[in-house]
Amino acid sequence: MNKWVLGARPRTLPAAIAPVLVASALAGSDFNWFRAALALKVGLWLQIGVNFANDYSDGVKGSDSIRIGPTRLVASGLASAHAVKHAAFISFGIASICGLWLAILTSPVLIAIGALAIAAAWNYTGGRHPYGYSGFGEISVFVFFGLVATVGTFYVQTETVTLMSFIVAIPMGALSCAILSINNLRDLAQDALVGKKTLAVRMGASRARRLFVALLVIAHTAAIATFKPSALLTLLVAPLTFSLARQVLGGATGAALIPLLGKTGKLQLIFATTFALSLAL
């Protein structure tokens, strides 16, 4: 696999795609393919930028010196820290251009929201006080890849914000947090050794496993809470959800959790597609 594709971490990209699918379906007759495409590009390039930024920051700090997860560019020596940092800035730049275009079409408020999103992306593991090292990563993911991504995509197409747009954002945020949660559970022991106090480290393995399952339950519950009969279609995904929950609660650790990260991303994408279909109906 090309090293830059590897560094972009394709398994995490469903977190950027899913909110756009759901919000676009909720937009109904106001669906605008061009604005939806721009919103998708913002989400994808922000996610890729986050991944490169994390690779750079963890690499230069030595946090990735001991790891069992997928290869990181800086820590492995596949790419220089400067090159990875440059890739992060390019990714953020592309996301900014698409976001600025949407702001021109809708509201300048999106510029401020975009700036906050990029700042949050960089400071997750970068800067003097990276909040990802203090256990606040899940909160940021829920806000930006759940609420902001979903409600924002709905807004740029309808130019309005509704209670329902917030409700449908909850499953997207919960599943995005689940991706981060299982990633941090996999790296728990190594993160603890280098002083990276993720939420999984703070909670301990047992509670971190229960948190992962709770996030999956929240996603299904919030979808049904839309009170749309068609939302019951999301229960078709329940077997995959149950399988993931069973494996995580079963005690899978370290390298055994690597394939479950990809499966969690697939769950989010399949869930979002099914949820979007139910909203369209």
Nearest to 253 by CA among 172, 166, 182: 182
Cα–Cα distance measured from residue 138 to residue 209, given in angstroms and rounded to the nearest whole number:
14
Number of domains in the chain: 1
Per-residue pLDDT of the chain (281 residues; tens, 9 = 90+): 588 998 888 888 999 999 999 999 999 999 999 999 999 999 999 999 999 999 998 888 776 666 666 778 888 888 999 999 999 999 999 999 999 999 999 999 999 999 999 999 999 988 888 898 889 999 999 999 999 999 999 999 999 999 999 999 999 999 999 999 998 998 888 888 878 899 999 999 999 999 999 999 999 999 999 888 888 999 999 999 999 999 999 988 878 888 898 899 999 999 999 999 999 98
Going by C-beta distance under 8 Å and a sequence separation of 6 or more, which residues neighbour residue 38? 98, 99, 101, 102, 156
User: Which tokens sit at 235?
Assistant: 């229960």
Look up the CATH number of the domain holding residue 38.
1.10.600
Q: Which domain holds residue 254?
A: 3-280
Cα–Cα distance measured from residue 126 to residue 137, given in angstroms and rounded to the nearest whole number:
12
Q: How far is residue 51 from each of residues 65, 171, 179, measured CA to CA in Å?
A: 17, 22, 13
